[in-house]
């Protein structure tokens, strides 16, 4: 019998991390009940909160529990409280260490403009145009993980960051992107800066070599400056966009804006260790304590996890459908509000999704959009 029970390490982190994570967990628990599987949640200190407790953003105990789990669910890290700390004592360094320690080298960021949010895209899209592509971001190499150093003082101060890629690192992320493309539109666009950077020259050479062994795929290459323009001009040209760590970080925020809000985008990191899911947005300290954060990105992390890692595509689809129905009914958190919509709190929005999930599963008849409004809204 296939597995029906999973242990998930839960790292809420800082800022709005805890609230979006608790929204996502409530959705996960509903799905577990409705679809007959079980989850064992282990909540762990991480990020700035862990620095305040124990002096380290990734305490050894947290890492051990993550390694022992079937998956890791993470909220967000960072905040003004730790911004003046040296890089190695910032919450973000714990996030990078976690990714590296788990060996999750392949970060999948699905960029999808959900139909109810069409009018919110900053682009003037023809009605036939949809935005639906995947950014595959290499996650454990590049300038993020090279030596960062500063020396000297005052006007004489110098700083440097070292970017490195090896052939095996590029090969494994390329193979991963190729497999993703085989499940989609069979097109891969590799993004680099091979007219300037040595790492990019190696990247392009390696991707091109592997591409020659993949005749079923269409492979193109773009320089990152051009790619950032193409994402705005013609996002529909992309199917799988393969890129390095730093470029993927930048391009995914740009692409997320096309989907109406960065709050809408989940991510899944795969590799050697347990998978890690996290929304792509930050800790948004300015939103903390107001219950206004959009939990969609983290809720979609649950559907990614269920579909890609736990073999529960039905539950994943129900979550996505519930989300679309609530958005379609005009219940919106402030970041995706538009005229005629009802602006609700993050928890009211989550309650709407949970109600949709329960109704959807118990009563196979389609649920009317108006029914999505929670009583309190």
Which entry of 249, 324, 335, 373 is annotated as an active-site residue? Answer: 249
Concatenated DSSP letters of 240-292: EEEE-HHHHHHHHHHHHHHTT-GGG-EEEEESSSS-EEEESS---GGGTTTT-
Annotated active-site residue 165? The verdict is: no
**Smaller CB distance to ligand IPM: residue 271 or 330?**
271
Q: How near is the Cβ of 265 to ligand IPM at its closest, in Å?
A: 10
Q: How near is the Cβ of 160 to ligand IPM at its closest, in Å?
A: 19
For 14, counting Cβ atoms within 10 Å of its Cβ (0-12 exposed, 13-18 middle, 19+ buried), the class is buried
Phi and psi torsions of 323, nearest 5°: -60, -45
* Rounded distance between C-alpha atoms, residue 227 and residue 230, angstroms: 5
Based on the shown chain and the rule CB under 6 A, indicate whether residue 169 belongs to the binding site for ligand IPM.
no
Annotated active-site residue 193? The verdict is: yes
Contact indicator for 81, 49 with CB cutoff of 8 Å:
no
- The site partner of 285 among ligand IPM, Mg ion, none (C-beta below 5 to 8 Å per kind) is none
Annotated active-site residue 40? The verdict is: no
* Rounded distance between C-alpha atoms, residue 104 and residue 162, angstroms: 21
Based on the shown chain and the rule CB under 6 A, indicate whether residue 249 belongs to the binding site for ligand IPM.
yes
Which entry of 220, 225, 272, 371 is annotated as an active-site residue? Answer: 225
Q: Of the candidates 280, 293, 316, 353, which one interacts with ligand IPM according to CB under 6 A?
A: 280
**Smaller CB distance to ligand IPM: residue 163 or 214?**
163
Q: Which residues contact 309 (CB under 8 A, 6 or more apart)?
A: 70, 71, 268, 270, 275
Of all residues in the shown chain, the one whose CB is closest to ligand IPM is 92
Half-sphere exposure of 296 (CA within 13 A, CB side): 30
Count of residues that interact with ligand IPM, criterion CB under 6 A = 6
* CA quadruple 300, 306, 307, 312: dihedral, nearest 10: -140
Based on the shown chain and the rule CB under 5 A, indicate whether residue 249 belongs to the binding site for Mg ion.
yes
Which region among 63-71, 248-256, 348-356, 369-377 touches Mg ion (by CB under 5 A)?
Answer: 248-256
Based on the shown chain and the rule CB under 6 A, indicate whether residue 138 belongs to the binding site for ligand IPM.
no
Annotated active-site residue 371? The verdict is: no
**Smaller CB distance to ligand IPM: residue 116 or 248?**
248
User: What DSSP designation does 116 have?
Assistant: G
First to last CA, the chain: 43
Based on the shown chain and the rule CB under 5 A, indicate whether residue 278 belongs to the binding site for Mg ion.
no
Q: Of the candidates 92, 138, 239, 335, which one interacts with ligand IPM according to CB under 6 A?
A: 92
Annotated active-site residue 253? The verdict is: yes
Number of CB atoms found within 10 A of residue 289's CB: 9
Residue 188 CA to its chain's centroid (Å): 19
**Footprint of ligand IPM on this chain (CB under 6 A)?**
78, 92, 95, 249, 280, 282
**Footprint of Mg ion on this chain (CB under 5 A)?**
249
The residues carrying an active-site annotation are: 144, 193, 225, 249, 253
């Amino acid at each position: 019998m296939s597995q029906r029970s999973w242990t998930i390490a839960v790292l809420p982190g800082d800022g709005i991390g805890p609230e979006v994570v608790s929204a996502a967990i409530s959705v996960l628990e509903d799905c577990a009940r409705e679809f007959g599987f079980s989850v064992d949640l282990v909540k762990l200190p991480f990020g700035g909160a862990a620095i305040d407790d124990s002096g380290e953003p990734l305490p050894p105990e947290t890492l051990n529990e993550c390694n022992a789990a079937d998956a890791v669910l993470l909220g967000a890290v960072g905040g003004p409280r730790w911004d003046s700390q040296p890089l190695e004592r910032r919450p973000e360094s714990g996030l990078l260490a976690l990714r590296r320690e788990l060996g999750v080298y392949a970060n999948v960021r699905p960029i999808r403009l959900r139909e109810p949010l069409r009018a919110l895209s900053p682009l003037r899209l023809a009605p036939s145009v949809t935005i639906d592509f995947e950014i595959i971001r290499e996650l454990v190499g590049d300038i993020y993980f090279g030596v960062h150093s500063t020396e000297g003082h005052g006007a004489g101060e110098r700083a440097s960051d070292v970017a490195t890629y090896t052939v095996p690192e590029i090969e494994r992320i390329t193979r991963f992107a190729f497999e993703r493309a085989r499940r989609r539109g069979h097109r891969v666009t590799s993004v680099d800066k091979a007219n300037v950077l040595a790492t990019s020259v190696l990247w392009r050479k390696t991707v091109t070599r592997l591409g020659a062994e993949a005749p079923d795929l269409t492979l193109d290459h773009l320089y990152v400056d051009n790619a950032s323009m193409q994402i705005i001009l013609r996002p529909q040209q992309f199917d799988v966009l393969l890129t390095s760590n730093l470029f993927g970080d930048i391009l995914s925020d740009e692409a997320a804006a096309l989907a109406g809000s960065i709050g809408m985008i989940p991510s899944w990191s795969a590799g050697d260790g347990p998978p890690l899911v996290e929304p792509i947005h930050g800790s948004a300290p300015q939103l903390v304590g107001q219950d206004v954060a959009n939990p969609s990105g983290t809720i979609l992390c649950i559907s990614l996890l269920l579909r890609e890692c736990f073999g529960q595509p039905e539950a994943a689809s129900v979550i996505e459908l519930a989300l679309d129905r609530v958005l379609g009914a005009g219940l919106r958190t402030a970041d995706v509000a538009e005229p005629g919509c009802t602006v609700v709190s993050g928890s009211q929005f989550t309650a709407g999704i949970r109600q949709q999930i329960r109704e959807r599963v118990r009563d196979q008849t389609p649920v009317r959009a108006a029914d999505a409004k929670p009583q309190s809204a």
